[in-house]
A and B are shown apart, each in its own frame.
Chain A
Amino acid sequence: DAGVTQSPTHLIKTRGQQVTLRCSPKSGHDTVSWYQQALGQGPQFIFQYYEEEERQRGNFPDRFSGHQFPNYSSELNVNALLLGDSALYLCASSGVTGQGVDGYTFGSGTRLTVV
């Protein structure tokens, strides 16, 4: 059973550029969330997608946007990159299975470096 898949694993971008990160959820999960993890910190919630709509959003500027596709996969887009956007970006999927609530499953993350 495939878990959460994220691509790319590493990315280096220049200040001001735009970036797109991709995520495929665990089989059977229909909800995708994105988190940003700065070095030495716990992950911070960016937003969550369910039924192709943004259901909830954390305290992140509009430069951060996303999308969910009919197959439940998702993209995170960041515009006008700042040095402070350098972080590990984690995708998590969740859902309700036949056994009830299935906890969040995280991908391996995308390490974004802005120079």
Chain B
Amino acid sequence: KQEVTQIPAALSVPEGENLVLNCSFTDSAIYNLQWFRQDPGKGLTSLLLIQSSQREQTSGRLNASLDKSSGRSTLYIAASQPGDSATYLCAWGNYGGATNKLIFGTGTLLAVQP
């Protein structure tokens, strides 16, 4: 059974810091790994999708990497801003196959202090 774990559960940093959020999964038969952002009481906003054949994706100040051998993904946020404050969720998923669903971690609650 696939399990997804996110560390740390919560993080508070001063504005301008670079930070790393971690995501680990137990089933190394990785298909795709997607990172989401969730503001309080809101839906999920997709940040980055790393397909199984890829090792990383970048969008602006965000960079996500995937290491299938170790069962880990990291989300790197450069030069953090107060507007980055949210819960960040990673999700393992198979898109189009027999197990076509996402399995989520419990998230990392990020607070960026001005």
Interface residues of A (CB under 8 A from B): 4, 6, 31, 33, 35, 40-45, 48, 50, 55-56, 58, 88, 90, 92, 94, 96, 100-101, 103-109, 111
Contact = CB atoms under 8 A, between A and B. Distances in A.
A50 B41 CA distance: 28
B46 A103 contact: yes
A41 B101 contact: no
Interface of B: 4, 32, 34, 36, 41-46, 49, 51, 89, 91, 93, 95-96, 98-107
Given A101-B95, A105-B46, A111-B41, 4 more contacts: A35-B102, A40-B106, A103-B49, A104-B93
Nearest to A57: B101
A45 B103 contact: yes
The 5 closest A-B pairs by CB, nearest first: A42-B104, A103-B49, A106-B44, A108-B43, A109-B43
B106 A56 contact: no
B42 A104 contact: no
A90 B44 contact: yes
Given A42-B106, A55-B100, A103 B95 contact: yes
B36 A106 contact: yes
Contacts of A88: 41
A30 B106 CA distance: 27
A54 B95 CA distance: 16
B95 A43 contact: no
A40 B106 CA distance: 7
A103 B32 contact: yes
Contact of B89 (A42, A94, A103): A42
Contacts of A107: 43
Nearest to A58: B101
A98 to B, nearest CB: 15
A42 B45 CA distance: 14
A35 B104 CA distance: 10
